[in-house]
Amino acid sequence: MAETVAVRVVIRGRVQGVWFRAWTENVARDLCLDGWVRNRSDGTVEAVFAGPTPVIDRMINNCREGPPAADVESVTEERIEADPLIGIGFSKKPTA
């Protein structure tokens, strides 16, 4: 069984006002990932994904493309502590 990890990502580009959060929530749920996504006041989108490493890698690759109206310039990622996120499902959070 694959190790469960958590990764925080920040997506830059034209990623707000293009349904990026809803798209991320749908794709993450389809992949059975735990975590959350939110807009940030600096115009980026931030997300935390928790699950098996291969599935997280797939999600991050999906984020590099985004929904059709998005124009992703970059995706940065950092590994974080996973335990509090396991089993919470995936949701949208308010803008921070």
pLDDT of residue 3: 80
Catalytic residue among 38, 39, 40, 79: 39
Where residue 1 falls among pLDDT bands split at 50, 70, 90?
low
The verdict on whether 21 is a catalytic residue reads yes
Domains and CATH numbers, the chain: 4-92 (3.30.70.100)
Catalytic residue among 8, 12, 14, 21: 21
Q: Residue 88: is its pLDDT beyond 90? A: no
pLDDT digits (tens, 9 = 90+) for 5-48: 899 999 999 999 999 999 999 999 999 999 999 999 999 999 99
Where residue 90 falls among pLDDT bands split at 50, 70, 90?
very high
Higher pLDDT among residues 79 and 84, named by residue: 79
CB 45 within 8 A of CB 10: yes
In what helix (H) or strand (E) does residue 24 lie, and over which residues does it extend? helix 20-30
Helix (H, G, I), strand (E, B) or coil at 78: strand
